[in-house]
């Protein structure tokens, strides 16, 4: 994406294509069919970030969100909301093999995995993130890497090498280092003037839902497989910016991340509110 004032307008074709990745709501659907998203993160020092990411994924419309975290974070996250499934599997005393055995069946239930919100940089948490990515790759699971998950990749640059079903979330100063610029979608929706903590977690949670939807939508085959992660990133940026704008319009300088999460549903309705059960 370019930061120049002459940057191109938002691609209407991308918005149209993205609609094909959103599963309809039907009376025949079962719990979980609109997406099951896992968030790997939540360390002794960070309980807010994984909560924000997981709650955003559900507010956007996935059916189930699994917070896979350390016991220190998990006991706190459980008090934030009963809507989340909190799994305190990232225990420091577990060996690598024990952690693999604990994570493997959980990842097998998911449609997408987000690694990084609140992960921290402690050795055992970074190792847990690495193992989660390796297992997700072996199961061909879409992966979103954010926050300290990117720190992990900076130290393990081959971890996702050659894996096409992954989305990274670098800041604007680093995007040119990892993108070849061959395919670029620009989101020009206005965002918030307030830059509060947690907005990046709203982005990663939105990414989790969109890329999960790309797995389950009955219309997904209308879109080439290699384009789906790009469209998911486009949609997540659109929702994150719009929900932040709506929250800022209400709260101004007092806006916090949970105010933006409260607007995620309204942001979705602004662009996709007509998509209920009708065919596209």
Taking a C-beta distance cutoff of 8 angstroms, is the pair 99, 126 a contact? Answer: no
Residue positions in the annotated binding site for ATP? Answer: 191-200
For 37, residues 6+ apart whose C-beta sits below 8 A from its C-beta are 54, 57, 62, 64, 65, 66, 110, 111, 112, 113, 114, 205, 208, 209, 212
pLDDT digits (tens, 9 = 90+) for 208-262: 999 999 999 999 999 999 999 999 999 999 999 999 999 999 999 999 999 999 9
Residue positions in the annotated binding site? Answer: 118, 191-201
Q: Which CATH number fits domain 28-170+198-228: 3.30.160.340, 3.30.980.10, 3.40.1190.20, 3.30.465.10?
A: 3.40.1190.20
Residue 192: name the closest of 131, 143, 239, 132 by CA.
239
pLDDT over 60 (residue 57) = yes
pLDDT over 50 (residue 1) = no
pLDDT of residue 5: 39
Taking a C-beta distance cutoff of 8 angstroms, is the pair 32, 108 a contact? Answer: no
CA 116 to the chain's CA centroid: 10
pLDDT over 90 (residue 148) = yes
H or E stretch covering 85 = strand 85-87
Output phi, psi for 168, to 5 deg: -105, 155
Residue positions in the annotated binding site for (6S)-NADPHX? Answer: 118, 201
> Rounded CA gap, 116 and 125, in Å?
10
Q: Retrieve residue 8's tokens.
A: 């191109």
pLDDT digits (tens, 9 = 90+) for 161-203: 999 999 999 876 556 666 767 788 889 999 999 999 999 999 9
């Amino acid at each position: 994406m370019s930061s120049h004032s002459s940057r191109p307008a938002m691609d209407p074709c991308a918005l149209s294509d993205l609609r094909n990745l959103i599963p309809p709501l039907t009376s025949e659907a079962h719990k979980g069919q609109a997406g099951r998203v896992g968030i790997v993160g939540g360390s002794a020092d960070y309980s807010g970030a994984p909560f924000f990411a997981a709650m955003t994924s559900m507010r956007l419309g996935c059916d189930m969100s699994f917070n896979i975290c350390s016991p220190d974070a998990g006991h706190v996250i459980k008090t934030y909301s009963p809507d989340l499934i909190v799994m305190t599997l990232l225990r420091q005393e577990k060996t690598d093999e024990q952690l693999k055995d604990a994570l493997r069946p959980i990842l097998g239930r998911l449609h997408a995995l987000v690694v990084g919100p609140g992960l921290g940089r402690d050795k055992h948490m970074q190792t847990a993130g690495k193992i989660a990515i390796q297992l997700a790759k072996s199961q061909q699971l879409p992966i979103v890497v954010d926050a300290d998950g990117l720190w992990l990749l900076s130290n393990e640059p081959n971890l996702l090498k050659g894996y096409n079903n992954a989305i990274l979330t670098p800041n604007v100063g680093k995007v040119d280092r990892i993108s070849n610029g061959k395919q670029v979608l620009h989101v020009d929706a206005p965002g918030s003037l307030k830059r509060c903590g947690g907005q990046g977690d709203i982005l990663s949670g939105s990414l989790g839902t969109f890329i999960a939807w790309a797995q389950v939508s009955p219309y997904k085959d209308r879109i080439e497989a290699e384009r789906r992660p790009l469209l998911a990133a486009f949609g997540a940026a659109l929702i994150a910016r719009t929900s932040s704008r709506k929250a800022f319009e209400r709260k101004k300088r007092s806006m916090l991340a949970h105010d933006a999460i409260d607007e995620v549903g309204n942001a979705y309705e602004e662009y996709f509110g007509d998509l209920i059960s009708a065919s596209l």
